[in-house]
Structure 1
Amino acid sequence: MAFLQSNQIGVKDIGRSVSIPENDVAKLMYYLNCVCFSVDCNDDPDIRRLTNYNNWSSLTVDEQKRLLVFCYTLSPDVFDNKVFFQNDALCQNSSNKFYEISQLRHQVFAVSTIVVAGRARQVNKIMVYKLSWIRFYYLEPMQRLAQRFTAQQRQNQRTSSACTIS
């Protein structure tokens, strides 16, 4: 369990405004980018490619499927109340915001490391979000992309099971 109040923790707003392309793949890449920014997991070139949301259109179908699996594995519930905190007040006028943790007091319970993909990662930043952010950048794109790949898989199965007589 994590407990956070802005008057009990030294935090520094380190967020910046970004523009995310209106595309489900780009939105999930942005979500993964937020995860990796918080827990410093961008050291792998494959992960870096999957977090470069401005180049979303260059991902192959296989990379898009890998992105879907990564995002499913690193879902918000893995980070909620550890690294991600739902807090409209700290978001101010943004749907999400990043803070650098500069000082912890005894009243605050927050994790200092988290295991991601089998490796312990240092948590130096937290992200606060509004529920609309999770819905817009994670839940809805995950659902649509999963439906798209499921439909493609069904179509491929129908095509491969068709009988051809020559």
Structure 2
Amino acid sequence: MAVFQRQEFDVQRIGVTASIPNNDIARCMYYLKCVCTAIECDDAKILRFTNYNNYWALSDDEDEIVYKLCLALSPDVLDNKVFFHSDALCGDSGNEFYEFSQIRHQLMAVRSILIAGRTRQVNKIMTYKLSWMRNNYFGPMNRLADRFNPQRRLIRAMVESDCVIS
């Protein structure tokens, strides 16, 4: 929940430009990096999977871990809590981070979020354009679902080959 009332507070744009390799695992790792930027994420086991420039160093099993982490930390969990869809607040980029240096009682952004049974502090919020979410989450996750779900891969192959089962 985010409620903005007439009150002074300091909001600062803090995003930086990132160059993401054109690879589904790298894009998912970048998405995880954005999640960890927005919420308290000090677990070294998760942070290991945010180094998107070294996506190539992960094993197939680690690729699947990245995929499953993204499923667990999907936009459904974060939307309107720490991620906000707003083309206007993104400017020319696909996403943007904001930090509140002074939060008063009149500004109600959630202070913490429950993820996988653990309470996490919200450090920043991220705004995004739908194209950014498609490019860095929905598209890669859809393609990776085929890779990590053999049954889905079989169904897609049957549909693409016009195979009919009677």
Query: TM-score normalised by the shorter chain: which range applies?
Result: 0.7 to 0.9
Report the equivalent of 1:163: none
Cα 1:77–1:152 change in 2 (3 A) is closer
For 1:96 and 1:9, locate their aligned partners in 2 and report how far apart those are by CA, in whole Å: 22
Q: Is contact 1:30–1:137 with CA below 8 Å preserved after alignment? A: yes
Find the counterpart in structure 2 of residue 148 from structure 1. Answer: 147
Cα 1:45–1:38 change in 2 (3 A) is same
Determine the C-alpha separation between the residues in 2 that align with 1:54 and 1:22. 10
CA distance in 2, matches of 1:9, 1:23: 39
Q: What does residue 34 of structure 2 align with?
A: 34
TM-score for the superposition, normalised by structure 1? 0.83
* Structure 1 residue runs of 4 or more that deviate by more than 4 Å after TM superposition: 152-155
Q: How many pairs does the alignment contain?
A: 153
How far, CA to CA, are the matches of 1:111 and 1:3 in structure 2?
10
Q: Is 1:24–2:21 an aligned residue pair?
A: no
Give ranges in structure 2 of 5+ residues lacking alignment: 155-166
What runs of 5+ residues in structure 1 fail to find an aligned partner? 156-166
Matches within 5 A, 1:1-166: 1-3=1-3, 9-41=9-41, 43-151=42-150
Partner residue in 1 for 2:160: none
- Secondary structure in structure 1 of the residue aligned to 2:2: coil
Distance 1:71 1:26 in 2: 12
TM-score norm. by structure 2 comes to 0.83
How far apart are the structure 1 equivalents of 2:153 and 2:138?
23
1:8–1:107 CA contact under 8 A, matched in 2: no
Do the aligned residues in 1 keep the contact of 2:145 with 2:152 (CA within 8 Å)? no
Q: Deviations over 1:129-163 (max 9, x none)?
A: 011111100000000011122249978xxxxxxxx
Flag the 1:99–1:154 CA change in 2: closer, same or farther, 3 A: closer
The amino acid across from 2:56 in the alignment is S
Aligned-pair identity (%): 57
